[in-house]
């Protein structure tokens, strides 16, 4: 009898060990896959940084040098001397920040109306508004350009900023978050005599910081990296954004890749700073808003 008990105990220990070993192998495979994926994603950024630190003749050497033999920072100073890089940077920051703040205000107000106010045709109107996401930007670009021309907003900041303030995706994202907010908070405020504007600004918006941070990152990145719209709306160099200004570094017959990559590194830094600053709210906002 005792031998049978010992045999059963050994079998149980072996089964537990096997299950534990499988879990360890699965975790090892999972983290190895994530590590390889992260490495594949970061290699282009590391190559960009490496190229920006190379001398002019070292960018096309064979075999390619991932770590430059002679590291130089003169490419960054040459970019600043050859082009008004700081003016381009200011224009991009001004346009991106203004566009982001405008989208946060307008999208949050529209999302509150679609999620909390009851009026006839609300859901139908929201579906029609959401359907505009299927319309490519290239389709609406020509009518927007004609409208900007009639308004006299070519080569102006308002021509760069205002067309991008209305974002159906931002409205959808915030609406999904507002739907998860308990209505009891609003009802308590209405009993105390609060209006919809007071409820919106003092109750809903403070609770929506994660979703607002998520939308802010998306909006800032979209506006910061936007190239096509500034290309057709701006011809004055004083109003060019950074992506449009950096395109001047690419020549027709030859390109100084070390200078171009130095300019691209400068353009990437603000995006990284914004993401790192709002990373916690970004992850939380994606989770709570139901966007997978």
**pTM of this structure:** 0.76
Residues paired with residue 255 on neighbouring β-strands, in sequence order: 250
Same structural domain, 198 and 238:
yes
**pLDDT per residue as tens digits for the range 204-222:** 888 888 888 888 888 888 8
Same structural domain, 142 and 253:
yes
Rounded to whole angstroms, the Cα distance separating 227 from 233 reads: 10
pLDDT of residue 225: 86
pLDDT of residue 290: 46
- Please work out, in degrees rounded to the nearest 5, the angle formed at the alpha carbon of residue 163 by the alpha carbons of 118 and 274: 90
Burial of 136 (0-12, 13-18, 19+ CB in 10 A): exposed
User: How many domains does one find in the chain?
Assistant: 2
Residue 5 has which token pair? 């008990």
Same structural domain, 35 and 175:
no
**Are the CB atoms for 219 and 277 separated by under 8 Å?**
no
Same structural domain, 82 and 38:
no
Crossing angle (nearest 10°) for helices 209-225 and 168-179: 170
**Are the CB atoms for 103 and 170 separated by under 8 Å?**
yes
Which whole number is the average pLDDT over 143-167?
89
Crossing angle (nearest 10°) for helices 209-225 and 85-116: 140
Query: CATH number, domain at 116?
Result: 1.10.3720.10
Cα dihedral 167, 169, 172, 176, rounded to 10, equals -130
Same structural domain, 117 and 188:
yes
Q: Which of 222, 269, 200, 241 is nearest to 103 (CA)?
A: 222
Rounded to whole angstroms, the Cα distance separating 266 from 73 reads: 13
Which whole number is the average pLDDT over 29-35?
87
Burial of 186 (0-12, 13-18, 19+ CB in 10 A): middle
**Are the CB atoms for 281 and 209 separated by under 8 Å?**
yes
Give domain status of residue 254, yes or no: yes
State the average pLDDT for the chain.
Answer: 80
Give domain status of residue 160, yes or no: yes
**Are the CB atoms for 213 and 276 separated by under 8 Å?**
no
Which whole number is the average pLDDT over 21-40?
84
pLDDT of residue 246: 79
């Amino acid at each position: 009898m005792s031998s049978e008990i010992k045999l059963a105990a050994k079998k149980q220990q072996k089964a537990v060990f096997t299950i534990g070993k499988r879990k360890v192998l699965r975790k090892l495979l999972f983290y190895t896959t994530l590590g390889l994926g992260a490495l594949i994603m970061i290699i282009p950024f590391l190559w960009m940084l490496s190229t920006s630190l190379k001398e002019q003749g070292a960018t096309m050497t064979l075999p390619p040098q991932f770590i430059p033999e002679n590291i130089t920072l003169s490419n960054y100073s040459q970019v600043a001397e050859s082009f008004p890089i700081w003016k381009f940077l200011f224009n991009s920051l001004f346009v991106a920040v203004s566009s982001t703040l405008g989208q946060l205000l307008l999208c949050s107000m529209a999302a509150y109306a679609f999620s909390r106010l009851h009026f006839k045709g609300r859901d139908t109107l929201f579906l029609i508004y959401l359907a505009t996401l299927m319309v490519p930007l290239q389709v609406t670009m020509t009518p927007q350009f004609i409208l900007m021309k009639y308004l006299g907003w070519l080569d102006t900041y308002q021509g760069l900023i205002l067309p991008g303030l209305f974002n159906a995706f931002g409205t959808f994202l915030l609406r999904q978050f507002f739907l998860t907010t308990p209505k009891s908070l609003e009802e308590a405020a209405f009993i105390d005599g609060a209006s919809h504007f007071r409820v919106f600004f003092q109750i809903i918006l403070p609770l929506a910081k994660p979703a607002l941070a998520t939308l802010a990152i998306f909006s800032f990145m979209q506006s910061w990296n936007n190239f096509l719209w500034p290309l057709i709306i701006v011809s004055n160099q004083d109003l060019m954004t950074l992506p449009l200004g950096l395109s001047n570094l690419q020549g027709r017959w030859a390109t100084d890749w070390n200078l171009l990559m130095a300019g691209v590194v400068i353009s990437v830094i603000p995006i990284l700073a914004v993401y790192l600053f709002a990373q916690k709210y970004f992850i939380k906002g994606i989770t709570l808003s139901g966007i997978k």
